[in-house]
Amino acid sequence: MRVLAAGSLRRVWPQLIAHFPEAVETQFGPAGLLREHIASGEACDLFASANLAHPQALLAAGRAQSVAAFASNSLCLTVRSEVLRDGDDWLSVLTRDDLRIATSTAGADPSGDYTQMLFDRMGVAGEAVRKRALALVGGRSSAPVPAGRLAAEWIIHSGQAEVFIGYASYAALLREIAGLTVLDIPEPFNPRAEYGCAVMTAQGQRLADFLQSEKAKTILQNEGFLPGGAALTRPTKTNP
């Protein structure tokens, strides 16, 4: 079975597949770019995306057999600890002009899309932050994150920025890294990242069913993901 999967699933995926009885070959990448590859004819049995809109687009185009939502996520800030001032929170950090802010790339990577939604929800302050933000990962020409490194850790420790906006599923790991501080973003500012898969073949359907199982949900939540929807969406058939 061949799977194309969002890069944010890379760390949890081996744990999931260890409980699935079939052999799975997985290619990871930014979900927006993976969707483009599938739309252009690249074959796979299942596409696991960090944005439900990408599988739904493949379904609407007749490329997928069905769509299943299986998890969700949110955003957080990772900050170089030494730049924090007394009383700083997520909003004061983002609006400090002396700090460089890194994000993933909107359009190519859902993390970047959700970050743009965060800026939208911040109103006027968010527009100013949007203009300053640097899209450093997840794009067509972005430098790859070194193997075994987290994007936030690599960006900050390599001196490319002082702040990184990324998925909260990494928060527990990031909090264990010296020199980094993770700040939560409260609702209603924090977008909900909805993960979904596009089922391309009968083989893929079996994996989609597993991703919606209680075992898979437990694994995902233990790795920092939030619960997601469970309903399958299939193409609507009309009578001739």
pLDDT digits (tens, 9 = 90+) for 2-17: 999 999 999 999 999 9
Same domain, 8 and 104: no
Same domain, 130 and 176: yes
Q: What's the pLDDT tens digit per position in 17-74?
A: 999 999 999 999 999 999 999 999 999 999 999 999 999 999 999 999 999 999 999 9
Q: pLDDT at position 229, please?
A: 61
Nearest to 29 by CA among 56, 53, 59, 5: 5
129 within domain boundaries? yes
Same domain, 173 and 213: no
Same domain, 23 and 106: no
pLDDT reading at 180 higher than 50: yes
Q: pLDDT at position 231, please?
A: 46
Burial 36-67 (b: 16+ CB within 10 A, else e): eebeeeeebbbbbbbbbebbbbbbeeebbbbb
238 within domain boundaries? no
164 within domain boundaries? yes
Using pLDDT thresholds of 50, 70 and 90, give the confidence band for residue 240: very low
240 within domain boundaries? no
Same domain, 140 and 199: no
Same domain, 180 and 81: yes
Q: Please list, in sequence order, all residues whose beta carbon lies within 8 angstroms of the beta carbon of residue 8, skipping any fewer than 6 positions away.
A: 50, 73, 111, 167, 169
Q: What's the pLDDT tens digit per position in 162-174?
A: 999 999 999 999 9
Using pLDDT thresholds of 50, 70 and 90, give the confidence band for residue 82: very high
CATH of the domain at 215: 3.40.190.10
Per-residue CA distances from 51 to 163, 178, 203 (Å): 23, 31, 22
How confident is the prediction for the chain on average, in pLDDT? 94
152 within domain boundaries? yes
Q: pLDDT at position 234, please?
A: 53
Same domain, 140 and 211: no
Same domain, 90 and 178: yes
218 within domain boundaries? yes
Nearest to 232 by CA among 62, 72, 52, 73: 52
Q: What's the pLDDT tens digit per position in 192-238?
A: 999 999 999 999 999 999 999 999 999 999 999 999 864 445 544 33
As given in the structure block, the two tokens for residue 44 are: 């796979």
Same domain, 48 and 31: yes
Same domain, 172 and 226: no
- Domain count along the chain: 2
Q: Compute the average pLDDT of residues 180-201.
A: 97
Same domain, 110 and 39: no
Same domain, 86 and 42: no
**C-alpha–C-alpha distance, residues 17 and 183, integer Å:** 31
239 within domain boundaries? no
Q: Is 232 exposed, middle or buried (0-12, 13-18, 19+ CB in 10 A)?
A: middle
* Enclosing domain of residue 113: 75-184
pTM of the model: 0.92
Q: What is the separation of C-alpha 34 from the centre of its chain, rounded to a whole number of angstroms? A: 13
Q: Integer distance in angstroms from the first to the last C-alpha of the chain?
A: 35
